[in-house]
């Protein structure tokens, strides 16, 4: 999905988070070629040239993918600018974007055939390529052949930490983002790594709420997914959430609980770890 040679653009590069994490991305090895902040064209951040528009940045540097740190009120516009400029993937780190705004740019991206990761995501990291787009603390990660997708930031670090300690490296890790509406789903991720020769097994880190895990389980069962998958679900002892009307219950009957997700995974032949450190134990039999 991204490689060490991928030419990365940082939108919102002059902001506090944008500039700080541009430094860390460069330090890790990401090929950051340009930044965009409207009105700050001509400046430099960590030696990276800043442009006023995405179009200029693409023309001048050949940027191919974008990571977005733009604050929530302006982020949807920034993402649409990146979509229309043909950047892919677009990783949206920004949190607190209204769900209706996300719905619009996710829909637009689908029409353009562009992949969105996030919003409210720690991003994507590809340890074998020493490349990341996002804010993941890269010390935790190690090179290997397990692909990890997660709905939660720090819980990803926790589980990857146990993988790395157990000597199990990662081919790619993606934070799907914690918002109600996000771009890339578990299914998109499974499709993405299905043909990846560097990925031998997949870890899905889910949590209660929504039906993304149940849908992933259904996809694994239906496609007879060719690679082993191990899952972890957070929230099995969380109290029931407050009822928010009937529509969700009607559309996704009985889904959303830890039991429903675990059952769906087990029926699809996916083992479910009870603790974060059980994930590497379950993986070992497949590697």
Partner 1 sequence: MIRLLEYQAKGLLREVGIKVPEGGVARTGEEASRIAEQIGGPVVVKAQVPVGGRGKAGGVLFADTPEEAREVARDLLGSKIKGEIVDKVLVEERLNIEEEWYAAISLDRSERIPIVLASREGGVDIEEVPDEKIARRYVDPFLGMRPFEARLVAKDAGIPREYLRDFESVLTAMYEVFDGYDAHLVEINPLVLTKEGELVAADAVVNLDQDAAVMRHPEFAEETEDFHLVELGGDVGIIANGAGLTMATVDLVKEFGGEPANFLDVGGGAYPSLIRRAILAVDDLGVSVILINIFGGITRCDDVAKGIVRAMEDVDTPMVVRLVGTNEEEGHAILKEHGIDVFEDLEEAVKRAVEIAQG
Nearest-approach distance from CB 105 to partner 1, in angstroms: 11
Task: Give phi and psi for 88, each to the nearest 5.
Answer: -160, 125
Does residue 138 carry a catalytic annotation?
Answer: no
Nearest-approach distance from CB 96 to partner 1, in angstroms: 4
Please state, in angstroms and rounded to a whole number, the distance separating the CA atoms of residues 239 and 92.
30
Q: Which is nearer to partner 1, 21 or 33 (CB)?
A: 21
Nearest-approach distance from CB 56 to partner 1, in angstroms: 27
Nearest of 214, 120, 96 to residue 176 by alpha carbon: 120
Nearest-approach distance from CB 53 to partner 1, in angstroms: 23
Please state, in angstroms and rounded to a whole number, the distance separating the CA atoms of residues 172 and 175.
10
Q: Which of 96, 100, 237, 246 is catalytic?
A: 246
In the chain, the N- to C-terminal Cα span, in Å, equals: 23
Q: Residues interacting with partner 1, by CB under 8 A?
A: 72-73, 96-101, 103-104, 106-108, 122, 135-137, 140, 150-158, 161, 178, 180-182, 205, 207-208, 210-212, 215, 232, 234-239, 242-252, 274-277
Q: Which is nearer to partner 1, 33 or 282 (CB)?
A: 282
Nearest of 39, 47, 113 to residue 74 by alpha carbon: 39
DSSP codes of every residue in 106-149: HHHHHHHT--EE-SS--EEEEGGGTEEEE---GGG--EEEEEEE
Please state, in angstroms and rounded to a whole number, the distance separating the CA atoms of residues 261 and 57.
43
Q: Which is nearer to partner 1, 107 or 223 (CB)?
A: 107
Q: Which is nearer to partner 1, 62 or 254 (CB)?
A: 254
Q: Which is nearer to partner 1, 120 or 171 (CB)?
A: 120
Nearest-approach distance from CB 137 to partner 1, in angstroms: 5
Tokens for 193, please give them. 């790594």
Catalytic positions are 246
């Amino acid at each position: 999905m991204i490689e060490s040679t991928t030419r990365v653009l940082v939108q919102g590069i002059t902001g506090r988070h944008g500039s700080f994490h541009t430094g860390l991305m460069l330090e890790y090895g990401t090929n950051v070629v340009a930044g965009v902040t409207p009105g700050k064209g001509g400046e430099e951040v960590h030696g990276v040239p800043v442009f006023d528009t995405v179009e200029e940045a693409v023309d001048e540097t050949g940027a191919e993918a974008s990571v977005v740190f733009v604050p929530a009120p302006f982020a949807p516009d920034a993402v649409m600018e990146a979509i229309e400029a043909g950047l892919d993937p677009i990783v949206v780190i920004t949190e607190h974007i209204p769900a209706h705004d996300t719905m619009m740019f996710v829909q637009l991206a689908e029409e353009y055939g562009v992949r969105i990761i996030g919003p409210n995501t720690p991003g994507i990291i590809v340890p074998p390529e020493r490349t990341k787009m996002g804010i993941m603390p890269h010390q935790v990660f190690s090179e290997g052949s397990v692909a990890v997708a997660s709905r939660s930031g720090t819980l990803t670090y926790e589980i990857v930490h146990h993988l790395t300690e157990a000597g199990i490296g990662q081919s790619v890790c993606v934070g799907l983002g914690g918002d109600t509406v996000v771009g890339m789903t578990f299914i998109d991720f499974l499709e993405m790594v299905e043909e990846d020769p560097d990925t031998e097994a997949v870890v899905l880190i889910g949590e209660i709420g929504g039906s993304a895990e149940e849908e992933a389980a259904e996809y694994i069962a239906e496609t007879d997914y060719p690679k082993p998958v191990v899952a972890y679900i957070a929230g099995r002892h969380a109290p029931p959430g407050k009822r928010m009307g009937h529509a969700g219950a009607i559309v996704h009957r009985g889904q959303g609980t830890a039991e429903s997700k675990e059952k769906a995974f087990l029926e699809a032949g996916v083992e479910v770890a009870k603790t974060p450190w059980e994930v590497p134990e379950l993986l070992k039999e497949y590697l």
